[in-house]
Structure 1
Amino acid sequence: MTRRPVTLQRTLVIGAIALVATALVLMSVATVTALRAFVYDRLDEQVVGGLVFAGGPGDGRGWPPSEESTGAPTPSASAGVPAEGRGPAPRIGSLLVRVADDGAVASSYTRSDGTVQTLSDEQVSVLSRGVPPDEVPVTVELGAELGTFRVAARSANGSTVFSGISLADAAATTSALTTILIAVGAVTLLAAVVGLSFFVRRALRPLDRVAAVAQRVSERTLGRGPAEIPDRVEAADTDTRTEVGRVGASLNDLLGHVQAALTARAHSESELRRFIADASHELRTPLASVRGYTQLTLTGPEPMTATQRRSLERIESEARRMTTLVEDLLLLARLDAGQRLRVEDVELPLVAIDAVSDAQAVDREREWRLDIASDAPLTVPGDEDRLRQVVANLLRNAHAHTPPGTIVTTSIERDDDEAVLRVTDTGPGIDPAVADTLFERFTRGDRARNRDAGSTGLGLSIAQAIVVAHRGTIAVRSRPGETTFTVRLPAHRSRAATDS
């Protein structure tokens, strides 16, 4: 499964949302923690204050006054709360417990409906064990029936007094706040995602336009065709005071330099092609004259020494080789200039048969084979003379760069709407050092194969130029013991094959 690439827009949105979510979480945790601490502080104050109304008489710290000082009866030691009409009414969820030294217990717990109940012996035991009499509130769990309390205790007048308040309201408050914060945070995050996606997409639109220009330029074939690059970043996206504007302005400058370089290169190549074409054309006549006079001298009646005859034969051979080179250069110059080829129906199997027959007649040291698929004959539109030259160059390449005894097979088959011609030899293969430049001009495979002295290094480049002019492709695959040149040309079945 291919991993989806992380775009700049997605990175910015995810990063911003992560920061917002982190801030919301930290704020929520801090708010709940602060509220819980505040509530607990208030409860602790109330718990400590409750000890005033639960303690014994006459200690001078605000405890209920004695009978002697007020003339009123003192609350019974067994009462858990102040006597009726003495002090404030007990708070809902509060508890008061007095444990005398002789084990007598007086307790009361005010339920949510206002009724008062006493604590069980086990609950009183939990308080006695878990709450030290130092007036410091602690949290105590009194079972599922009562729940959790903040409780403080003190010893006075031969008894220990406990005062506590239930944490149910505090827990409900913090739970409600937590729920509210989660809901608000989720809505805030959703709004942030939508808003950030919109604003980031809007902010990155200029960069998208700059990238679109670069994409269109990258899809152009700058190596061939006109040197014009009409695509440019719009002026609105080239403001150098912004980051995207600097990128757009730099891209426009780069495209301008590239276009200037392409124009200069195209002009130079045009001049070079014109020079090669003119020079090749002009050299044809003197070379023909040199060959003619050489042949005339060799066939003349005047006696010559062996050295003279050898010299004239070499002159004729080199003149013939130079004529071939000039003809190849002239053909390449014309193809580069876009010379139109003849377009006619060419029977590719007949072209291959003639080329293989010619190779067998010239070279008896190699085995030349022909393999034509059952769906042949194939007809391709093109220039028959040029296509014959392609096949001949490929066979000549096999002859020049393979040792005697090599098997060279020329095959033709059909692949959908293409005619596929392959020339395969069992030679030593192509040197990897020249494989990438094999179709360039004047490239020789001297280090890979046995070189023929008559090779000009233009055969494969001419074959490629002719194939490309026919809207086809040529490729090579090589390894020791097998080298295959594959030519693909647009094709249609011949009339005879169609009628059958």
Structure 2
Amino acid sequence: VVAGTAERLDRAGIADDDAPTTARSVTPLSRVPTSISVTVLDPFGNLIGGIGGDFNSNQITDYVKGLLPGQVAAYGSEPFTIEAPGADFRVATTVLPSSLGSVIVAQSLADFDKTTRQIGSVFLIIGSLVLIFIAFASRQVVKVGMRPLEKIEETAEKIAAGDLSARLDNFEPDTEVGRLSTSLNTMLSRIEEAFDARMQSEDKLRRFVADASHELRTPLTAIRGFAELHRQGAVPDGEKTIELISRIEKESMRMGYLVEDLLMLARMDQSPELVISDVNLSELVQEAVTSAQVAGPDHLITTSIASAVVTKGDADKIYQVVTNLLANARAHTPAGTTIAVSVVKDRADSLI
């Protein structure tokens, strides 16, 4: 026996047959230490004997002494718990035959309580880690779910800055965010169309005002010129005066038609219907030239008008076009410039 084996055998209470007789005496091991105890009581509840319970801080005998067989029998065969300071005991009892006494087997719950506390600590740590993981995962999920809303916010800022063409991304149509983005894109398209229609309406209104001022200038100038000629006595009484008054009346009627057309344009936002009829271009152009000569005496107007040139069209609109052309010729050329006006018939076409 080497390396301390004899010493270990002595501590275990085992004798070595090969050991010399001079070895020191060995105390045999009487029992194995345990936390389970067995207690025997006599019929009067006095302690007869017991074994075990070496690891217990409290002894079960302190709590079961004095139990009579009748009291033990009342517990039956089911185990029960005896509460004690520190660790409790789990107890099972039985009565000896002929009520000669009682046998009580007890197990200390100290190890159970220790294991329970350890398991509770482990579960607490695991639960805390799980909660931290769930909180982190939830934050990531919420962050991912909020990305579409962040894009919606960016698009809303662009629209607020005046970019009406900005649109939301097409998200999954089966989700709430997808349906919301689809509805918002539809709404934004309608808003953009409404703004475009408003801008077009404003442009048409501006053109209407410009056209009204331009179109009304020519007949008003002609009327003012005819009136000044009459006031200054440049036209003698008689047939010339009647012709002058007739021209003033025609110009005022054309101005009235022009105002009605402009009002119709403003109300209907479209061109009025044309009144198609036979138009004597020779007479119509001659009247426009006469009015232009009165409105702009600083320009010389020469004419080459064929007689009896007739065409189909709206007389008022053709007269309006001719007077506008003459007015533009006067407005964009210096005084003294000669303006040539001709009306010819070229086979099936009538040319001004």
What range is the shorter-chain TM-score in?
Answer: 0.3 to 0.5
Larger Rg: 2
TM-score by length of 1: 0.32
